[in-house]
Structure 1
Amino acid sequence: MKKIIFFTLFLIFTNSYAQVNHPKASPFSRIEQEVGLSKITITYSRPAVRGRQIFGDSLNGQPALVPYGRIWRVGANESTKFNVDSDIEVMGNLLPKGIYALYAFPQEDAWEVVFHKNIDHWGDGRKAYDSKEDAFRITIVPEVLANFQENFLIMIDDIDYNSANMVWLWEHTKITIPITVDTETLMQEEIAKQLRENPTAQTYYEVARYLQEQGKEYSRALEYLNKAIELGGDTYYFYRVKSLIEAALEDYNGAIGSAQKSMALAAVEDKDEFVRMNQKNIYLWRKLMD
């Protein structure tokens, strides 16, 4: 009986000990970034240089942490995960929505970057990695930076409606991976859905503003904007966008009238920036009519 009690206490003690939290040498990080209507989530660990040579051949008899030609897990601990909620393209390669592991084969002049379908690997990948499970590989030319990056860093940068760059930084090395998203298709699907499912004044306004910002289908945009005003009443931002659409259609009289209405409504709400923007546009459109 004493042995059973002792063994039970031992298990409780060891389980409690195993759950002790402690700082990690390569701390976990998670980034989320919207690109257009797509969301990218990356989870990875951030190892530090700590005075070591990171990439390349041996230096002064000391091997680099990641020798040229050897697979690298793009971080530390478990494999780095790249999660995207819609289909995207990476340098012309279709990447269906889902979760992928990231790997790389660094070289001095060019890196092979891998989007890998098996996300269950732990460790550096040298034993478990199988190229048959790749989604695809791309070739990236590394940049050598003057600035030094101590902890490995992944970020999404240079973002617009349709594209972004995934950037890796460590030591003096920078890898830039271009990503393209199909925002137009996703937006048209979203527009059709919102207009089909009990649209509001704000729905019509958002659709009109999107079309105006994209510089297309101005007549359709004006139709939606008028519907927004019909349902939602007079607001300075409704008339602000209406004036821009009318100007794009070269209806400068209409544009000036809408801008004047927007300016008056903005003044009541102390929206000085909108007052100034409308004043500027009225001046420009009158010049075009001279």
Structure 2
Amino acid sequence: MKTSTFITSVAFGITMLLSSNANAQKFPDLDKSPMDMASYPNDYKDSAKLVRIIYSRPQLKGRELSTLIPEGKVWRTGANEAAEITFYKDMKLGDTKIKAGAYTLFLLPEKNACTVIISKDLNVWGSYTYKDANDVARLSIPVTEGTDSLEAFSMVFTKADKGVVLNMGWDKTRIAIPFME
């Protein structure tokens, strides 16, 4: 009986220790720019993905897009950490081949165009430490205007001939980045 009482006491002590640690945890509030993900194929049931991007979704909140994403300055493509794009097979951006793997996606806004930058840097906060020496691919693409204004920065992949297009939108600004197989 003494062994049984001892085991019960130890089990009770461990339970109390674990539950007091769980109650002592401080969890952060929800992020103001929630993290999101887009992938292709878009169907969550299809595990044979071609590409996936993880990014945070900043909101306009009455601010001007030109102050949030100034021309001539590299942007992290979202909020918080720079957007991370993963290719599950070799792809091309323009004429540049990108090997399968994880990369960071930056944008360089210009007057009527935007330079898309794929960088080998990972786990990057913002674009403060961006180094062009780590670029894997660059492509200048036109910027267009949509009819509807989007409050939150958004991304979605669509099918294209021989690849996919990463569509980005915020306010009325639209960008379509072609990735070819």
- Shorter chain as denominator, the TM-score bin is 0.7 to 0.9
Task: Measure the CA separation in 2 of the matches of 1:174 and 1:134.
Answer: 23
Structure 1 match to 2:36: 29
Normalised TM-score (structure 1)? 0.51
**1:45 and 2:46 are equivalent in the alignment:** no
Map 1:127-276; keep pairs closer than 5 Å. 128-157=129-158, 159-160=159-160, 162-181=162-181
Is the alpha carbon distance of 1:107 and 1:26 closer, same or farther for their aligned partners in structure 2, counting shifts above 3 Å? same
Question: Between Structure 1 and Structure 2, how many residues are aligned?
Answer: 156
User: What's the secondary structure of 1:74's corresponding residue?
Assistant: coil
Give the match for residue 16 of structure 1. 25
Q: Is the 8 A contact 2:57 2:153 kept in 1?
A: yes
After the TM superposition, which segments of 4 or more aligned residues of structure 1 sit over 3 Å from their partners? none
Moved more, 21-30 or 110-119: 21-30
Per chain length, whose mean CA-contact separation is higher, i.e. which structure has more relative contact order (CA < 8 Å, sep 6+)?
A: 2
CA contact 2:75–2:108 (8 Å) conserved in 1: yes
More strand by share: 2
**TM-score when scaled to structure 2?**
0.79
Q: Which consecutive unaligned segments of at least 5 residues does structure 1 have? A: 1-11, 56-63, 182-290
Q: Within 2, Cα distance between the matches of 1:160 and 1:167?
A: 11
Deviations 1:195-239 (A, max 9, x none): xxxxxxxxxxxxxxxxxxxxxxxxxxxxxxxxxxxxxxxxxxxxx
Contact preservation (8 Å) 2:118, 2:136: yes
Report the Cα offset of residue 161 of structure 1: 6.5
Question: C-alpha distance in 1, partners of 2:49/2:80?
Answer: 27
Shift of 1:160: 4.9
Give the % identical residues. 25
- Do the aligned residues in 1 keep the contact of 2:39 with 2:156 (CA within 8 Å)? no
Unaligned runs of 5+ in 2: 1-20, 43-47
Q: Is the 8 A contact 2:39 2:49 kept in 1?
A: no
